[in-house]
């Protein structure tokens, strides 16, 4: 496996939290200049700005031993503990429903159901890249196993113009579809964690997608039924919770390599269903992770922060006041979530409390392999235009 070695000297770092203030009580990193840096290295932080706040001591620092971070609470586990309910679990065997919504007058193509099954459940070989299921199986190192049931299509009462003229017209289409399918589908089977809520449903509509400032009904997004007006009633004894809304046409987007279907938009939206926000900037040309993250530019794999929040990786942990000789495996070729990420905590971070909701730097070494390989052609040098909308 490809690896990269660093000599790390931890001194001090000025860190700022969400309030924009912070203490100069963390770590900065310098690498051995004898090590080649021609291969890409990426860092992720929780709103951290790096400033040396004190002169390093002339005394040589002791050599430290890197420990592997213990398992931490996932977003899902934290939500259950804090609120008694959550969205989709990020670990285990998870079943989810996909509902094709055919807008009256805009029919799906012949064989649409097979294409939907392929883009959600297909293998790497069948899709030419990844399906939603195969992507998350690889990204999670086998910790998340997804299966998607493709429901019979529902054809809406109104046509494109009718729903396009209604504020949040997608809510009407979703409510119609749920009412119609309730006779044939037991929705309670999609409450994977038994918290009384359907963990999620993906609604795939037949209209060509378009991002518009006046009406984003024909775009891709994740939302919660709490915002339905009026509220949708209980169905099969469970509440309707999170959902994905996306166009069938997204699977036809070019990936830059030969594919049968392109699942990248659905994969990105599924990341929202697992609790992760967008990581791109809607105002500036460059986001915090530089484009190469599935929650940034729909590219490559999920980064180490995402995977830490979902319970998929266990970083090596460095501490202030020591020097380390570090060898990181290629993040792109990692198969077990260990020894491919370095975590440098802020001094006040409490990593012993069972969760990773703290402040730290994450250092990864990736190569153009694995889930990073598919976008080398479509996005070889990412330039991020300012975005007014989001996926």
Per-residue model confidence as pLDDT tens digits over 358-375? 889 999 998 889 998 877
How is residue 226 annotated by DSSP?
A: G
Query: Tokens for 138?
Result: 């690889």
Residue 296, phi-psi category: left (phi > 0), alpha (psi -120 to 50), beta (remainder): alpha
Would the CA dihedral through 291, 293, 295, 301 be positive or negative?
A: positive
The residue written with tokens 């203030």 in the block is 21
Residue pair 265/250 in contact by the 8 Å Cβ criterion: yes
Instruction: Tell me the per-residue pLDDT of 248-259, one tens digit each, with 9 for 90 and over.
Output: 999 999 988 899
CB atoms within 10 A of CB 247: 19
Question: How far apart (Å, rounded) are the C-alpha atoms in residues 114 and 117?
Answer: 5
CB atoms within 10 A of CB 6: 20
The residue written with tokens 């019979």 in the block is 152
CB atoms within 10 A of CB 183: 6
The residue count of the chain comes to 391
Residue pair 271/132 in contact by the 8 Å Cβ criterion: no
Residue 245, preceding peptide bond in cis (omega within 30° of 0): no
Residue 86 has pLDDT above 80, yes or no: yes
Instruction: Tell me the per-residue pLDDT of 42-61, one tens digit each, with 9 for 90 and over.
Output: 333 333 333 334 565 678 89
pTM here is: 0.83
- Report the pLDDT value the prediction gives residue 349, as an integer from 0 to 100: 67
Task: Report the b/e string of 141-159 with b at 16+ CB within 10 A.
Answer: eebbebebebbebbbbebe
């Amino acid at each position: 496996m490809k690896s990269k070695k660093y000599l790390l000297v931890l001194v001090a770092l000025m860190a700022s939290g969400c309030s924009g203030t912070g203490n100069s009580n963390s770590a900065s990193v310098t690498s051995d200049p004898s090590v080649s840096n021609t291969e890409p290295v990426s860092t992720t932080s929780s709103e951290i700005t790096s400033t040396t706040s004190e002169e390093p001591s002339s005394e040589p620092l002791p050599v430290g031993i890197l420990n592997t971070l213990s398992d931490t609470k996932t977003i899902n586990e934290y939500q259950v503990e804090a609120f008694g309910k959550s969205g989709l679990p990020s670990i285990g065997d998870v079943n989810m429903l996909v509902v094709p919504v055919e807008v009256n007058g805009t029919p799906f193509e012949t064989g649409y159901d097979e294409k939907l099954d392929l883009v959600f459940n297909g293998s790497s070989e069948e899709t030419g890249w990844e399906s939603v299921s195969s992507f998350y199986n690889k990204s999670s190192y086998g910790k998340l196993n997804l299966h998607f049931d493709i429901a019979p299509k529902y054809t809406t009462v109104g046509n494109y113009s009718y729903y396009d003229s209604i504020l949040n017209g997608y809510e009407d289409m979703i409510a119609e579809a749920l009412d119609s399918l309730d006779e044939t589908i037991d929705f309670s089977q999609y409450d994977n964690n038994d918290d009384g809520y359907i963990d999620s449903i993906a609604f795939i509509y037949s209209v060509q997608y378009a991002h518009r400032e006046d009406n984003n009904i024909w775009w891709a997004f994740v939302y919660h039924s709490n915002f339905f007006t009026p509220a949708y009633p209980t169905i099969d004894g469970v509440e309707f919770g999170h959902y994905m809304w996306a166009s069938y046409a997204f699977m036809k987007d070019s990936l830059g390599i030969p594919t049968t279907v392109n699942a990248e938009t659905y994969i990105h939206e599924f990341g929202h269903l697992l609790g992760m926000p967008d990581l791109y900037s809607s105002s500036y040309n460059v986001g915090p992770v530089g484009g190469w993250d599935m929650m940034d530019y729909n590219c490559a794999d999920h980064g180490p922060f995402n995977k830490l929040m979902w319970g998929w990786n266990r970083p090596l942990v460095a501490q202030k006041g020591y020097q380390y000789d570090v060898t990181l495996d290629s993040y792109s070729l990692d198969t077990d979530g260990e020894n491919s990420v370095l975590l440098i905590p802020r001094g006040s971070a409490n990593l012993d409390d069972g969760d990773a909701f703290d402040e730290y730097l994450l250092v990864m070494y990736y190569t153009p392999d694995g889930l990073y390989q598919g976008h080398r052609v479509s996005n070889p040098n990412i330039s991020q235009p300012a975005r007014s909308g989001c996926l």
